[in-house]
């Protein structure tokens, strides 16, 4: 579906920005949904083991390069060159996944100068994610200057949280300043709702498990509680993020180790979680291999992770009055049967058993890029 084969359909390029990666997809409208034309990812950005892979929907690899990618903008420039070389027309729209928009950006919308300014003002809500996202937006608007650009927020899906879930136990003035529970992985959860459609039961729990992990309780397809909080650092322990901590731990680190805000941020986001348990190792596949070989620290990491997710699911069962469907997604949730099994151990009393025939526990591939393309198409139609 490129210009080598006649007129090109209007396309939407989706950019899914991560902390050290960039996933992307090019979509055209087909029937009543978005059809994937090509997809790919740049991994290991800023590291010596960087790679760029672009493939067609039939898994035919168009580009596979191993080299250093200095930044997401570097990766985007290479992607633009590949699109030109493959004779794809310039996209009609570019959709950007934005992790956090702060208190004033809670709906998917066109990227205007005012929206960009509000994003800049919200940097302190996600200092690891927003600056590279802004740099990517600026570069994309330069490369694809004739396209409409749209911001799709991971927090938007959780705007339905009731006050008891959104408000933190702090004086009201902090809530008024935006210090609330936002929740994340919303685009992933939206995609699961779209995929399940009429098969989504009234009481569901979704667990997006990857390097970043969260759990969400849904009633009638709407988020009513979720494990991450004001930032993507909270909730269950993750690859390198600590998850929830006793606030006294932070006071201890400040008073005894004299850590300032920047040092705390580095510790909590880059050296904690599974990496903290397992002496720096955060890759789930490597941890499973080490645990199978008798590594006690790796076993502890797996046990702590699975237990935290299981406890969260159990709490949501009490909140919902039962669970009709448990869905795992994300790199770990979809691909690690071992982790799913560990999490489901002890949940049999809820009828949740990994691998049984009931269909109450499922692993589903998330389609964040397609979900962003859907939003962009709807916003284009306006």
CATH number of the domain encompassing residue 9: 3.30.420.40
- Asked which of 43-52, 230-239, 308-317 is least confident by mean pLDDT, the reply is 43-52
For residue 19, name the pLDDT band (cuts at 50, 70, 90). Answer: low
Residue 172 falls within a domain, yes or no?
A: no
Q: Which of helix, strand or coil describes residue 259?
A: coil
Residues 154-188 pLDDT 10s: 999 999 999 999 999 999 999 999 999 999 999 99
Residues annotated as part of the active site: 154
Burial 263-302 (b: 16+ CB within 10 A, else e): eeeebbbeebbbbbbbeebbebeebbebbeeebebbbebb
Domain termination site, one of 153, 169, 189: 153
% of the chain exceeding 90 in pLDDT: 80
Residue 297 marked as a ligand binder: no
For residue 4, name the pLDDT band (cuts at 50, 70, 90). Answer: very low
Bigger pLDDT: 6 vs 112: 112
240, pLDDT greater than 70: yes
Domain count within the chain: 2
Residue 149 marked as a ligand binder: no
Residue 104 marked as a ligand binder: no
Residues 249 and 355 in one domain: yes
Q: What is the pLDDT of residue 98?
A: 96
Residues 124 and 213 in one domain: no
Residue 368 marked as a ligand binder: yes
Specify the pTM. Answer: 0.94
Residue 170 falls within a domain, yes or no?
A: no
Residue 382 marked as a ligand binder: no
* Residue 41 belongs to domain spanning: 3-153
Residue 20 falls within a domain, yes or no?
A: yes
Q: Which of helix, strand or coil describes residue 42?
A: strand
Residues 235 and 137 in one domain: no
23, containing H or E segment: strand 22-30
């Amino acid at each position: 579906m490129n210009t080598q084969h006649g007129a090109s359909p209007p396309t939407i390029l989706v950019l899914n920005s991560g902390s050290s990666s960039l996933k992307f997809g090019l979509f055209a409208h087909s029937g009543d949904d978005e059809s994937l034309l090509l997809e790919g990812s740049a991994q290991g950005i800023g590291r010596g083991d960087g790679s760029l892979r672009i493939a067609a929907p039939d898994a035919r690899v168009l580009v596979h390069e191993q080299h250093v990618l200095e930044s997401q903008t570097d990766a985007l420039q290479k992607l633009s060159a590949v699109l030109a070389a493959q004779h794809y027309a310039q996209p009609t729209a570019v959709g950007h996944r934005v992790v956090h928009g702060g208190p004033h950006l809670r709906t998917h919308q066109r990227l205007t100068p005012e929206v960009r300014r509000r994003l800049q003002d919200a940097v302190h809500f996600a200092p690891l994610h927003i600056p590279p996202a802004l740099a990517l937006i600026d570069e994309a608007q330069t490369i694809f200057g004739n396209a409409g650009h749209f911001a799709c927020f991971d927090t938007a899906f959780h705007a339905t949280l009731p006050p008891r879930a959104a408000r933190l136990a702090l004086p009201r003035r902090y809530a008024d300043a935006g210090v609330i529970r936002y929740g994340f992985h919303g685009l992933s959860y939206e995609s699961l709702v779209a995929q399940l459609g009429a098969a989504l039961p009234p009481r569901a729990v979704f667990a997006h498990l990857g390097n970043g992990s969260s759990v969400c309780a849904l009633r009638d397809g709407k988020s009513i509680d979720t494990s991450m909080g004001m930032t993507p650092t909270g909730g269950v322990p993750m690859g390198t993020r600590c998850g929830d901590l006793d606030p006294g731990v932070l006071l201890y680190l400040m008073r005894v180790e004299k850590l300032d805000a920047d040092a705390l941020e580095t510790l909590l986001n880059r050296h904690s979680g599974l990496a903290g348990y397992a002496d720096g190792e955060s890759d789930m596949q490597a941890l499973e291999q080490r645990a199978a070989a008798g590594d006690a620290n790796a076993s502890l990491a797996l046990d702590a992770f699975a237990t935290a997710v299981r406890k969260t699911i159990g709490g949501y069962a009490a909140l919902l009055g039962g669970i009709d469907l448990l869905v795992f997604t994300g790199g770990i949730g979809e691909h690690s049967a071992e982790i799913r099994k560990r999490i489901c151990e002890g949940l049999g009393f809820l009828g949740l058993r990994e691998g049984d025939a009931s269909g109450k526990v499922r692993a589903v591939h998330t389609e964040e890029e397609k979900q962003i393309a859907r939003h962009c198409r709807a916003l284009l139609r306006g």
